[in-house]
Structure 1
Amino acid sequence: MYVTISELAAYLELPEDYIHHQIKRGQLKTVFDGENYLVNRENFLWHKEQLDLKRKQLELEAEEPIPEDWDAKDED
């Protein structure tokens, strides 16, 4: 099944500019139907999984407390 770039952007919850950038970088392959660029849904499922993993990782990192800075001068 093919979807348009705007449908893909809505599904991934990303701006269309980001999708266009990924296409230009060769990360997503498209088909041009004469009017629109279309993306095969199977081709971007892996990309979505990677984005979800990265989002979860960033959320976990944001929840970690920032360690107190230790002062090397106090060690003497």
Structure 2
Amino acid sequence: MYVTVKELADFLELTEDYILTQIRLGHVKAVSDGETFLVNKEQFMWHKEQLDLKRKQLALEAEEPIPEDWDAKDED
């Protein structure tokens, strides 16, 4: 299933500029009709899963309290 750059950006929760840059660099395969790029959405299913996992991991790490520095001393 082919989607536009905007639809892909919404799906991956990335910016359109980032997707377009990746297309121009050759990192993302796309078909152009002269005005717009179309991208096969299926090739990004694994990438989307990995992004979601990483976002969940970062959210969990942000919730963890910062441990006290074991070497810190309160002496003046």
Give the TM bin, normalised by the shorter chain.
Answer: 0.7 to 0.9
- Helix, strand or coil: the match of 1:57? helix
Q: Residue 59 of structure 1 aligns with which residue?
A: 59
Written as runs of structure 1 = structure 2, the 5 A alignment for 1:33-44 is: 33-44=33-44
Matched residue, 1:6: 6
Stretches of structure 2 that go unaligned for 5 or more consecutive residues are none
Give, as a single letter, the amino acid of the residue that structure 1 aligns with 2:44. F
- What TM-score results when the alignment is normalised by the length of structure 2? 0.79
Shift of 1:37: 0.8
Distance 1:22 1:50 in 2: 18
Residue 28 of structure 1 contacts residue 43 of structure 1 at CA under 8 Å; is this kept in 2?
no
Aligned to 2:28: 28
Q: What does residue 17 of structure 2 align with?
A: 17
Partner of 1:50: 50
Given the two structures, how large is their TM-score scaled by the length of structure 1? 0.79
Query: Equivalent residue of 2:3, what SS?
Result: strand
Report the CA distance between 1:38 and its aligned residue.
0.7
Q: May I ask how many residue pairs the two structures share in their alignment?
A: 73
Taking the aligned partners of 1:31 and 1:58, their CA distance within structure 2 comes to 34
Percent sequence identity over aligned pairs? 74
Give the whole-Å Cα distance in 2 for the aligned partners of 1:27 and 1:54: 21
Give the alignment's Cα RMSD to 1 decimal: 1.8
